[in-house]
Chain A
Amino acid sequence: MQLFVFICAAVMILIGAVGVIVRSHPVHAALSLILTLFGVAVLFVAQDAHFLAAVQVIVYAGAIVVLFLFVIMLLGVDKAESLRIDPVKVQRPLAAIVGIGLAGLLAAAIVQGRDTLARRGTGIDTADGGVHDSNIRQLANDLFSNHVFAFEITSVLLVIAVVGTVLLARRPRHSGASHTEAGTDTKASVK
Chain B
Amino acid sequence: MLAVVATPTTTWYLLLAALLFSIGVVGVLVRRNPLVMFMCIELMLNAVNLSFVALAKKLGDIGGQTTVFFVMVVAAAEVVVGLGIIVSILRRRPTATADDIAELKG
State how many angstroms separate the Cβ of A23 from the closest Cβ of chain B.
9
- Total interface residues on B, CB under 8 Å, equals 76
Q: Are A3 and B39 in contact (CB under 8 A)?
A: no
SS class of chain B's interface: helix, strand, loop or mixed? helix
- Known contacts: A2-B7, A26-B33, A52-B65. The answer to whether A77 contacts B94 by CB under 8 A is yes
Best-buried of A40, A91, A118, A141 by chain B (most CB within 10 Å) = A40
- Known contacts: A17-B23, A21-B31, A60-B72. The answer to whether A161 contacts B81 by CB under 8 A is yes
Binary contact track B40-83/A, C-beta < 8 Å → 1, others 0: 10110010011001111111111101101110111111111101
Q: Place the interface of chain A in its size category.
A: 35 or more
Name the residue of chain A whose CB is nearest to the CB of B33: A81
Complex alpha-carbon distance, A122 and B87, angstroms:
46
Q: Are B21 and A102 in contact (CB under 8 A)?
A: yes
Q: Are A103 and B35 in contact (CB under 8 A)?
A: no
Q: Which residues of B contact A52 (CB under 8 A)?
A: 49, 53, 65, 68-69, 72
- Known contacts: A95-B29, A99-B25. The answer to whether A77 contacts B90 by CB under 8 A is yes
Q: Which residues of A contact B9 (CB under 8 A)?
A: 114
State how many angstroms separate the Cβ of B22 from the closest Cβ of chain A.
4
B26 part of interface (Cβ distance < 8 Å): yes
Q: Which residues of A contact B85 (CB under 8 A)?
A: 168
Complex alpha-carbon distance, A122 and B84, angstroms:
42
SS class of chain A's interface: helix, strand, loop or mixed? helix
Q: Are A20 and B39 in contact (CB under 8 A)?
A: yes
State how many angstroms separate the Cβ of A78 from the closest Cβ of chain B.
10
Name the residue of chain A whose CB is nearest to the CB of B35: A26
Name the residue of chain A whose CB is nearest to the CB of B73: A154
Residues on A facing B (Cβ under 8 Å): 2-3, 6, 10, 13-14, 17-18, 20-21, 26, 29-30, 33, 36-37, 40, 43-44, 47-49, 51-52, 55-56, 59-60, 63-64, 67-68, 71-72, 74-77, 81, 87, 91-92, 94-96, 98-100, 102-103, 106-107, 110-111, 114, 117-124, 138-139, 141-143, 146-147, 150, 154, 157-158, 160-162, 164-165, 168-169, 180, 184, 187
Q: Give 23 CB contacts A-B under 8 Å.
A: A26-B33, A29-B36, A55-B69, A60-B46, A63-B76, A74-B87, A77-B90, A87-B32, A96-B26, A99-B25, A102-B25, A111-B11, A117-B55, A121-B60, A122-B61, A122-B62, A124-B56, A138-B62, A147-B70, A161-B80, A164-B81, A168-B84, A168-B85
Question: A91-B29, A158-B77 are known contacts; what are 5 more A-B pairs with Cβ within 8 Å?
Answer: A47-B53, A55-B69, A64-B75, A77-B95, A98-B26
